[in-house]
Structure 1
Amino acid sequence: MSAGSATAPRSLFFLLSLAAATGVLRVRGQSTGFVSIDCGLSEQSGYVDDVTKLPYSSDAAFTDAGSSHNVSAEHVKPSSTKRYLSVRSFPDNSMASRSCYTFPSIVPGSKCLLRATFMYGNYDGLNKLPVFDLYLDVNFWKTVNISKADSVHTAEVIAVIPSDTVQVCLVNIGLGTPFISGLDLRPLKNTLYPQVNSSQGLVLLDRRNFGASDIIVRHPDDPYDREWFPWSNLSKWRGISTKEKVRLRPEDEADVHFDAPSVVMQTAITPLNASEKIHFSWDAEPNNVYPTPRYTSVLYFSELERNVVRLFSVTINGMLLMSRYTPRYLFSYAFYGIEHSYSSRYDFTIQATATSSTLPPIINAAEFFSVISTAKFGTDPQDVIAINAIKTKYQVKKNWVSDPCAPKTFAWDGLNCSYPTSSSPRITSINMSFGGLSGDISSYFANFKAIQHLDLSYNKLTGSIPYALTQLPSLVELDLTGNQLSGSIPPELLKRKADGSLNLRYGNNPKLCDQDSSCQPTEKKNSTITIYIAALVVAAVVIGLLLLLLLLGVRKKKGLVKGRVKPEHVASDVQSHSKNSNRYGLLQLDNRWFTYLELEVITNNFQRVIGRGGFGIVYDGFLEDGTRVAVKLRSQSSGQGVEEFLTEARNLTKIHHKNLVSLIGYCKDGEYLALVYEHMSEGNLQDKLRGGNSNIGCLTWKQRLRITLESAQGLEYLHKACSPPFLHRDVKTSNILLDENLKAKVADFGLLKAFNNDDDTHVSTARVVGTYGYLAPEYASAMQLTKKSDVYSFGVVLLEVITGKPPILQSPEPTNIIEWAGQRLGQGNIEDVVDMFMHGDYDVNSVWKAADVALRCTAQVPTQRPTMTAVVAHLEECLDLEESRTTGDINSNLNSCSGGEFNPNYNNYGVDHPTDTSQSSRTVDMGHSFGGGVATGPATL
């Protein structure tokens, strides 16, 4: 079976598609996980079946192919079951065309029963009974041969699902238009039907309930909704029944493997004449894939009469299967385990052992299956995701349905694949020339690690050639001829062209530049040379100034050591302003206390500004031992400085974690308030993502994941390890700082608030403080603060890391990032969500999982959001996925992100002015549907 679904944006896309049909996924009792589809039913329609009490929904969320029809009036009867009154047909007349349904959110490795039903009903008015094939992912399931217009044909398979999705595909074999009436998925216990494994499945031929009336046993009597059809023959058999419950024998493992419902086991048959045998038979059903199919059976026995002795044997086609068996009273037994040699007909005989049995034989139920192979591999999941993303981006209308490469006869037009014997097929060639493609070149092309030939010639592609294409190890031919590409060709591609390892064609792209021509017009070359000369002169001047500043800095450091403040002077200064300190309740802090005079020396008279905000200004500085620090000095104009200063000073003396910024010391000297922090040389995350410096966008996906994971660990510490727990209240990208190794630490604890007790559900605050775009809805509207409020803010941060965009987008109109990302992810459009500066260099599954985590964090209802502990665990999984793709070090691209001077425009150490929404006239709109919808899905974090 397929290792990957043919629909790219798998887990998030289908969770959204099913959000409106949540009732289909979960009903009471054992039916959790059931999916019941009425094919052809109008979109958004649904009903509850009168017999099974199961909800049925439209198939619109599971396929985008085909058209809906009603059966003709002549085949509608008062007794007609509702689900057979409509069908969906797939009128593509081409041979081997596939039309597929996709079931999402399957637990990989789980065992499921899938059932497809067909009632032709002359829906098309042609009175032409079709024949077509069914496939389960890439493995043949069954040939559907409709024999009567008004009869129901059922196809049922039990199989192990290796991936998180499974597809049911109808294949046109040239004998009529495929159609379908209904489709069901029923999860099974993995202990059931042990014949089923990863390499083989069972296709039901018949399932019988001997001695029953004319009622079909289904759900709720059978918790797995198997269909048990009655079978009795009054001319040959006598029915036996009981109202007592028939139980499984715990000592018999075989019974647990099949778990026949008690209501089925409460009836049985025995011969009318004590000397007679029980005889029944099944006919084989050969098909175009299995002309000599393999078969297996399950026979069920239980004694229903007291104080009797039965002893009998079972044979099939004259071969002894079991001998001298005695069923136990009101206990179920299932006989299975052998495959029957191929025969066109299978005759079963149950005969009493003449010398010992006082009564004739008995049988309660039976199942008969053909055995199919499910061992074929689907296309490599990474290739599947990439090609489906490309299909969506360029709206490809070819036969691009289901698996791209498998089965080989169904491979998509324009693709060539390799077919290893023991692993998944890989896409090795893509030809999309003259395809009418527009827009830029999708970064997903860089995900085909086995691709050798890529032809995108003669389309309307614009933009530059993605650098990620240089990372394709097997690429030997790249044709970009006849597009509207611009910019420079990546030098690596030109180098490979020159050494003959790559056949690179790029003619008829007037704005595309190679190494032999300039990307600038000829008339500007002279001015360019002038600019270069001027730049060299400026550089020389700057270097001279830097040398001068370096000399001055050495002298200042020497003076600092020489003029160091003595401890006794510090003590006297503390006494001199102790009254002012007590007025604000300043407690004795364990960190170093600085005078204002010392701060002047440390900062070289507050010469270098590295941040500004509502509290004040942050300055660069050096301690006497050369340790670099950041000095956060309260501005005299700050209206909220003293309270936040004291809060931050107190809190930072209590909390210590590798992912929280450390407080080195403080200053409370008369009217001067300041905090002295460890210096974080690489600035803040916001500027790394979209700041005004040259390092914007330099972070790789692995680095971004590592940063968010470390930030989450810092918040987890505040929520879980501190006593009492702390809420940060202002989680945002500008409050996540980075050191020279890009290690992340959360900063700005001026708004930190503690829970009085671990059992508190929330804290009510007098005013809402925080930053617009990050505020949780329950906090912004009702001033109810919980740990989940920080989780919401972190979810916004994670979306910023994925997209590179701010929390509030201004174009074309103000939109929060949650709604913006949710809409695109809901359409399966991951490519347009991911930050373009990552150039497609990431594991797509890792990005999808991170996006899912982010949107769950931003669910409208706080209880639907995960804890920070859960977020940490899921981000670790995202990082594992990315690291399994590449063995590169987390700092492999560090040269582009570090080593420069600390940017004066960085707003680090939490100096961005937090928004007091109680005094703001702006409306904080936190509404979005995606987060809430996903949080109620079946994969709750």
Structure 2
Amino acid sequence: MWNRSNSSTAQWWRYFLQLVMANSIRALLPLILTISAVSASDQLPLNVDCGTTGSRTGFLNMTWVGDEQYVKSGQSAKVRIDDSVILPLTTLRYFPDQRKNCYSFPGVGQGTKILVRALFYYGNYDGLSSPPTFNLLLNGNHWSLVFLSGDNDSALFEAVHVTKVDDVSVCLARTKPNDVPFINSLELKKLEGDMYASMNTDRPLYLMGRYAYASPSTTVVRYPDDPYDRPWTAFTDYESSGLSPLSRSSDPNSNLADRPPAAVVRQAITPSSSLASNMTVPNAIVSPSPVPHYVTFYFVEMLANASRSFDIYLDDQKFYGETIVPNGTVLEIVGSNISLSTFSVFSLVRAKGSTLPPLISAAEFYRIGNAWGVDATDSSDVRALSEFQKSYVQLQPWSGDPCLPMGYAWEWVNCSSDSTPRVTALFLSGYGLTGPLADFINLTALRTIDLDNNSLNGSIPEFLGKLPNLKRLNLADNQFTGPLPASLTTSNSIVNLNISGNNISGNSSDFASSSEKKGNVGVIAGGTIGSILFLLLLVMLAIFIFKKRPANASAKPTSVLLQPEIKQHGFSHAEIVEITNNFEKVLGEGGSGNVYYGRLRNGSEVAVKVLKDSLSQGTREFVAEAKLLMTVHHRFLVSFVGYCEEGGNLILLYEYMSGGNLRQLLSGRSGTSAFLTWDIRLKIALRVATGLDYLHSGCYPPIIHRDVKTSNILLNAKMEAKVADFGLSKAGQKEEGADQPIVVVNPSQYSFDQRDDVTQVSTAVAGTPGYIDPEYYSTNRVTKKSDVYSFGVVLLELITGRPPMFAASGERFHIIGWVTPIIARREIHSIADPKLNGQYNVNSMWKVADVALSCTSETADARPRMIDVVNQLKKALEEETCYQQRTDTPSSEVRSSPTFYEFSSSSLSNSQLSSAR
């Protein structure tokens, strides 16, 4: 990425302007693109001038085309810039509506190696002098955060990527509700399959810089000198670096697979003094801590009959094991997985017997991205959705992958978290759809369809009853007529059908009766929902009361995590006194009561929570927690041992976690010398997120914790975390496919949203200040995303070590308000917990920071699901683990696989390469 906001602002801006002037006087035949072609592979290279229409010859005498055929949303605008500067900068397309907007290029071809370049120049096109921040996505994966610091700031992103599916999509996704993404130009270039052959095809390469070291300062080598239009920028700081340019009269010999242009390798830089013994190689590494990079160096002799030889070093270790003796054939050295930071130094050291100092012609520097998963949702689902969209103009603006990346699914679909996602729900309530209902029978994974409050007419289609996994169908308040189709009257799978507000003939009560006779499901229609839920509630409460009787051993839930002799059961108050040694040792004090240390007769340790007698809601919270914990079992949730309800005493017993709570450990008040490394913090975060995802998605009905905070995250002696304290938890709307009823403590206090990813409950605000979702606070409606918000605060605590609210420099801060501007300035080290002492992988830290800010978005819709958070944390942990493996290896034992380094030219083979660091 080239971004004017980094420390090399002036230098990179000069390079950008050089791109404008490159080869401007050459007369070239334009590249002819067949715009109406059925596949993008026939169009590559493709240069898209965003915000325009038609096609014309423009910058670099290349054909530039408008973007109207590649994107279905957004609006065009002109940028306040001189037209003579560069054509693609003068217009842009901005996207004020959907959260994710995509450019789609079909038929590029699976396994194609492509170069993708995106350019952003704000130019105060909207007159607001407020450049937005947003995410750039490529083929269902996160590419980069686009951050511009001022009206005239620009950013250029370039990636080399091997496609895993036929189509390519580039998407812009908002990260804040009021920030409107935009783009000026988008370029796709097809590379040869043998180019950059050492790259991991599962990981993209992000360009950091590409040098033609001795090119004239006014020239950037681009198309047509480079047929693949890779910009090679000049290095101009000769005088301050003690270097001088050299050139040769003829082009060198080369048949390298990476195809460096002759204009790049017929020149070189070398120390100005012929007596110099070494030179530092200018590089484009900007990472403050070591991360994986892909680097390529090109060497060729500039002088006839020269006697020149040298070695290449990275810091104080040889980078390549053999001495380099350049000649008239281009030599290439590739490091395909090198850990580099801005402090890394490449140097060329004159070899013994060499009469001339070292030289170098060119270099490429790429940062290696994270491993990308699948590039697309299930293809049959994508085709079915595409056909469905064609029938309704309201749905056509959505493009790109409907499910990926995780957290950026289309607003009206819900998707599974499988390796190849499936579309599991359509939420199209109130979308203004008219006409007959279009066929989408090929969306076979659908479990929920919500089409109420539209103007759909005609008969209800037969195919709806043939969807094999459909559980909920809401067709209320449309204009459907005629009888209910036979497929729905005979369906054994649908447990919730709402056809109220239509002109449906026939007796709906007969339909319900006939379904009940099948003994499989109950069909709930329209106004009957409330009464049936109330009856189900009474049944569930009766079952719960019956289960609490200790005499009935068969009603006791079991836990696979505890020994059989301490499985859940009721305790008498006398037993509790014995277990706690008359409440001798207090483990903690909370708003709902104290927690004491206990030991069962078999020696097993437990934590005993005694609810306060004065707590007006104590009984209600006790009932909620006991009921939930008797049925909820997960290895990342604190296990429930038993309970006591005797003589007004409300007591719960949990497994004992000897490591204390996370807040104590982060603050240093745990009374132990335990130190939480970044690796341990990531594992804690992943465990907690997985536990919360189980509550949200693995429980039926789903459970909203409502009090996620670091003091409710407990650790054992091995620093393994579990989520505790369900006293404030609420059971919400049952998930797709769940046949049991909604469980509610007091039906008059709750209302439910039928969207499974919302699962919201209306209730008085509960929780801990600093962690409470602002949307929950303002609406009294708690959702799964309320837990996501609180967990985002926990992530920020893990990064910074600070509590949610703290004082600094005489001011009072909330942690979100404190970190946001610092992160926007890309100063991650300024917020990292000083106790970490810089010992972390910066990419891993950035990923967690991005996840935390996404979780704490002001609106619930902008936050990811907990399963998406889990997936991102896994990637962050993977990066940190790789970093630790590299840094923990003793220097005397450092070895690199020969496949990491390659030496190739038209005359030398890779087999000559020895291993090097």
Please, what TM-score do these two structures have when normalized by structure 1? 0.47
TM-score by length of 2: 0.48
